[in-house]
Amino acid sequence: MRSLILSLIVFCISFNLFSVDLTSSDISRIESGSYALRERSNLNSLELLPESDLKKDFIENLKQYNPEICMEMLYIIDKSSVENSDTVSLLNSLIAFSDQVGVEYFSNRRQAMHPLIDESYFVAKDGKTPVADPVFSTVGQIKNRVYYQKDTTFDGNYYNLQTKITQNTVWLQTENLEKLKVYKIFKALDKGGVRTNILVTTNNDKLYLYILAAIKEEPKLKKILTYEVNIPYSFERRMNSIALWYLDRL
């Protein structure tokens, strides 16, 4: 794994529009190989969103979606450690969804690593037939795509993928096309209830990987029998697993 300048920063916040910088304590923890963690409500902004040529569009998109919960994660690595840091190469590595099969997460219940994603593939226009991951050669307009993913939290579901790409930034946004359920029975989120955004941008000698899970409404599912259910934590776990998978590909 490449040397991480920011190992992991996670926020669970309510969305508005106010901006703050990392504190000296955050920086000290990050430099020591740890991470900054905050859980707050009634904040006015995305605290970790890096500067990029898509930042304005990103914020406007989120304002229109108007989520009740946002979870942010940011990694920063030295660009010199990335073999191909041009935007098209960054996109092709990020969009290789079929390679996410076998990605693992740490299971608190098992106290061990456990597979997170069992199946992952793009589908054809008929909405069912698996097709190969797209590969791009130039920066340009990229059409929306649909993919299927089966994981250990929500089982199998279809998602819409929107992509924006500029000379310096890649932005992927996914949205669930059907209800997400726990144990195939209990509704966790409605259709369109979560958008996961992945933004990769470069600035001077650094590469920034930013992930934001925006949950439209606070999940009502809190407990199943004697088991506690924490939907936001499930997305934090997923975000971290996907981030590590992607960084390992660079």
Is residue 50's pLDDT more than 50? yes
The residues near 160 (Cβ < 8 Å, ≥ 6 apart) are 144, 145, 146, 174, 175, 177
Rounded Cα distance, 96 and 240, in Å = 17
pLDDT at 229: 77
pLDDT one-digit tens code per residue, 189-247:
999 999 999 999 998 888 888 999 899 998 888 877 777 878 888 888 898 899 989 98
DSSP secondary structure letters along 178-197: S-EEETTTEEEE-TT-EEEE
Average pLDDT, the chain: 83
Which range is least confidently modeled, 7-11, 83-87, 242-246? Answer: 7-11
Q: Give the domain range for residue 112.
A: 4-249
- What's the number of domains the chain is made of? 1
**pLDDT tier at 49, thresholds 50, 70, 90:** confident
Q: Which of 161, 166, 143 is nearest to 87 (CA)?
A: 166
**pLDDT tier at 118, thresholds 50, 70, 90:** very high
How many helices (H) and strands (E) would you count in the chain?
4, 17
CB 40 within 8 A of CB 15: no
Rounded Cα distance, 170 and 192, in Å = 22
Please state the pTM of the whole predicted model. 0.87
Query: How far is the CA of 157 from the CAs of 105, 111, 171, 176, 222, in angstroms?
Result: 19, 27, 22, 7, 21
- Which CATH number fits the domain that encloses residue 243? 3.30.530
pLDDT one-digit tens code per residue, 135-171:
988 876 677 999 999 999 899 999 999 999 998 999 9
